[in-house]
Amino acid sequence: MTGVGWASAVWNWHEQPRLVALAGSPAGRAVILLLVAALVPRYTAIVVVPALALFAFFPSRRIEILAAAAVFVLALKVPPTVREAGALPMLMTMLALVALLYLVYRAACDFPRLPSWIRRSPLVLLHILLLGMAGALALAPRPTGAHGGSALAWTATGLAAILPFILWRAAYLMQSGRSGAAKKTRFIDHWFYALPAWGGTMVPYGKGYDYLMQHRADGREAIAASQLAGLKLLLLAMLWGATATLLQAAVHGQPFPAYAAMLDGASLHWPRLPALIAAGPEGARLPVRWAVVVLELVEVTLSLAATGHLVIGLLRLFGFRVFRNTYRPLLATSIVEFWNRLYYYFKELLVQFFFFPAYLRWFRKNPRLRIFTAVMLSAFAGNLYFHVVRDFHIYTGHGLQAGAAMLSSRVVYCLLLALGIFLSMLREQQRRGKPVMRTRWTPWVNARRIAGVWLFYSLIHIWNVGSHRLDFSKRTDFFLGLFGLG
């Protein structure tokens, strides 16, 4: 075996037949369980390790096991203030959420029998229902003190906090109803991904029932191979997380954790990008400002990769061989390729619920306008809508001025992103079908393209990074200062 072949075999150790057979044995499953307990964060291990132990003994019952774990996840999702108010408000919050999801499930199962006006726009109506409820509950008077207020008031507080998390998962459930897949399913077939034991954010990693079932591994060897692939991602999550931490320590100075503290003395101690934006063009020398802008993109990408590898690694441990969330975006040679690779499940959410509905419905006789409309509806309007929903508590809690500052910056970011993706898609279409001639200059051409992608995403990130305290004018002044125009 050549050096390249040996390296490939080591890197793809989860595909080696002997190792897969060993991982499928009782001893192998025990070792995998111990490794998972050592590799995942403690708060995740509380839910995941017992569920994986049961899955090892009852592999055909994975959905039931994950559905039981989802009840525990729901209990953890209940805000601490509601838990402190007593067992009754906590139980009422949990039961109310289960009942609400069950109503969505019944609507999905009976989708053909729903009124035509609901079938035409089921997701729009679902969002109006759930967000209207969350908004009304969030704006209602809140109880004061751990023991003040009624159980109903505390239940409203709990539901308002949890509903945004399940919003897009409920949307995938309704999509299953629209496609007809939900008709032959049980409620727990959707409940287990509504409150996922593998973790995640408002973005559903692994999407919904249809996608998870398409990538479900069955049989001892297939599950063992999936679990080995999951372990590999857990190790990569640790690697990317440690790399991000060391980079931050070397650039910005970071005395924790212990392994990063050794770099603190040799750190450049450059400010983070939000601090530089707040300080204005005079906050640092021009080369430092440019370096921080680019390094911020690298740091964000590494952190996102670490989080995504952890979540997808856990999904694969439960036998769902789904795609990675982040896959080598810093090597992308086009803007649209970077977008596809950076945050796959967020991109899929926007494509599923915004891009395709527009692309399949409007401007079929004008391909360029058709793509432009679909991209603007997804990467601009859909992206903006998602983040307004995600940050709703900031808009309501910090006043109109802070909300306007956040919204104006987000609008600029989403608009620039959408325009960049559209132009990149047009360029990729023009290249499609043309023969690719490799010359001695090809690596340099690819390096120039990669640098261009880095530059684009680094610059638009100026309107995406930081909190509501950074208003639109500060971000714009900083951007102009990079080109000597401030």
- Dump pLDDT digits (tens) for 130-141: 888 777 776 666
> What is the pLDDT, as a whole number, of residue 131?
81
DSSP helix/strand/coil, 192: helix
Is the pTM value of this prediction over 0.75?
A: yes
Helix %, strand %, coil % of the chain (to 5): 75, 0, 25
Most confident of the ranges 95-109, 133-147, 440-454, 468-482: 95-109
Q: Which of 244, 265, 241 is nearest to 255 (CA)?
A: 265
Token readout for 475 is 């971000």
CA neighbours within 13 Å on the CB side: how many for 31? Answer: 12
Token readout for 43 is 């708060």
Q: Which of 359, 472, 463 is nearest to 420 (CA)?
A: 463
CA separation for the pair 89, 378 (Å, rounded): 38
Cβ atoms of 375 and 422 within 8 Å: the answer is yes
Q: At what angle do helices 42-57 and 62-77 cross, to 10 degrees?
A: 160
Cβ atoms within 10 Å, residue 212: 22
Q: Which of 192, 186, 184, 197 is nearest to 208 (CA)?
A: 192
pLDDT in tens, 159-178: 888 888 999 999 999 999 88
Confidence check: pLDDT of 419 > 90:
yes
Token readout for 434 is 């043309």
Token readout for 414 is 């989403």
Cβ atoms of 192 and 70 within 8 Å: the answer is yes
Lowest mean pLDDT, pick from 67-71, 97-101, 173-177, 436-440: 436-440
Looking at residue 216, what DSSP letter applies?
Answer: B
CA neighbours within 13 Å on the CB side: how many for 376? Answer: 8
Lowest mean pLDDT, pick from 74-83, 142-151, 194-203: 142-151
Q: Which of 203, 183, 184 is nearest to 193 (CA)?
A: 203
Q: Which of 32, 453, 7 is nearest to 235 (CA)?
A: 32
Cβ atoms of 253 and 336 within 8 Å: the answer is no
Tokens 């499953």 appear where? Answer: 29
DSSP helix/strand/coil, 215: coil
Domain map (residue ranges) of the chain: 76-204, 237-481
Mean predicted confidence (pLDDT) in 434-455: 80
CA separation for the pair 344, 205 (Å, rounded): 9
